Amino acid sequence: MRKQAMEIVQQEKVGKDIYRLTLAGGLAAVPGQFVQVGVSSTADPLLKRPFSIHYCNGSRLVLLYQVTGRGTNLLAAKKEGEILEVTGPLGRGFPLPEEGRAVVVAGGMGAAPLYYLLHALKSAGRDVTFLYGARTAAALVLQEQYRSLVRHYAAATDDGSFGRQGPVTELLQEELSRRPGVVFACGPEPMLRGAAAIAAGFNSRCFVSLEARMACGVGACLGCVIPGADGRYRRVCADGPVFAAEEVFPA
Ligand SMILES: Cc1cc2nc3c(=O)[nH]c(=O)nc-3n(C[C@H](O)[C@H](O)[C@H](O)COP(=O)(O)OP(=O)(O)OC[C@H]3O[C@@H](n4cnc5c(N)ncnc54)[C@H](O)[C@@H]3O)c2cc1C
Ligand code: FES
């Protein structure tokens, strides 16, 4: 983990209130890890904001983020050539399976870290299914870039405006009944709990990426703790954000 000043190379709007931000500078990270980004050059807001690594290689870092409040509004106003202070990579990412199929499940902005995971799985020669769910078709951003990395792809929307109408977990249920695989999921917590329960029903391993309000981002302030399935607390920033489902969701 290190702190570095990174220049904005590109700030693209890719959906309603959703931006893809490309920064110059390498980062050695595994999929599922995140960075803390300073969104202001003043002390207001003081805290950096956490964002998953959407993609990175030796020369660039890409984030995919949604504007939800003051910090992300400030970030969206940044222009190419401006410098951001970035700390990372932070946290624990997804374990890559040594063999077998992978079923990767995204809910809304939960798709952000899964793009880098799909890259890694493709490079490792894994057979991958990607299931992409969102409220509406408009929220299924960058579908083509995800689809291009996988053998099997399906989408679901709450309002039926694209793909299957209903929760993306219905697609997961069908997928696992056809083909077994290790499940990797990121999205709203109810979706993650549903995915974990479905995976357990098929005796499939399941890894979930969680979110929590964060301050330090490095395990020191205990601002992000959640109860684990065994009743002991976990720090989402340092023990996660990726957990084996059985570690955080009781059976
Ligand atoms: C490990 C991690 C990875 C993340 N990756 C991404 C990502 O790749 N793309 C992305 O768009 N967002 C991501 N988030 C969420 C992102 O950090 C928040 O949306 C952002 O910090 C909001 O800052 P703000 O100042 O704009 O909002 P605020 O004004 O602070 O809050 C606005 C709204 O956002 C909610 N919110 C704020 N922080 C969080 C949070 N940490 N988790 C959930 N809800 C929050 C608040 O409850 C409030 O409703 C991630 C969060 C974590 C913890
Ligand atoms: S944000 Fe400080 S311990 Fe996790």
Helix-helix angle 168-178:189-201, to 10 degrees: 20
Give the position of tokens 């990426």: 209
Residues 244 and 242: their CA atoms lie apart, in Å, by 7
Residues 177 and 99: their CA atoms lie apart, in Å, by 19
Locate all alpha helices (DSSP H) within the chain, ordered by sequence: 70-76, 111-123, 143-147, 168-178, 189-201, 245-248
The verdict on the CB of residue 74 being under 6 Å from ligand 1 is no
pLDDT of residue 166: 98
Residues 86 and 62: their CA atoms lie apart, in Å, by 12
pLDDT of residue 47: 86
Which structural domains are found in the chain, ordered by start? Answer: 2-90 (2.40.30.10), 102-248 (3.40.50.80)
One-letter amino acid for residue 85 of the chain = E
Helix (H, G, I), strand (E, B) or coil at 162: coil
Number of the ligand closest to the Cα of 48: 1
Helix (H, G, I), strand (E, B) or coil at 201: helix
One-letter amino acid for residue 31 of the chain = P
Q: Whose CA is nearest to atom 29 of ligand 1?
A: 69
pLDDT of residue 42: 75
Residues 216 and 205: their CA atoms lie apart, in Å, by 30
Q: Whose CA is nearest to atom 19 of ligand 1?
A: 68
Ligand 2 atom closest to residue 224's alpha carbon, by position in its atom list? 4
Strands 18-24, 2-15: pairing is: antiparallel
Tell me the β-bridge partners of 107.
133
- Distance (angstroms) between ligand 2 centre and the Cα of 201 equals 33
Number of the ligand closest to the Cα of 36: 1
pLDDT of residue 59: 94
Each residue's pLDDT, cut to its tens digit, for the chain (251 residues) gives 689 999 999 999 999 999 999 999 989 999 999 999 999 877 777 789 999 999 999 999 999 999 999 999 999 999 999 999 999 999 999 999 888 899 999 999 999 999 999 999 999 999 999 999 999 999 999 999 999 999 999 999 999 999 999 999 999 999 999 999 999 999 999 999 999 999 999 999 999 999 999 999 999 999 999 999 999 999 999 999 999 999 999 87
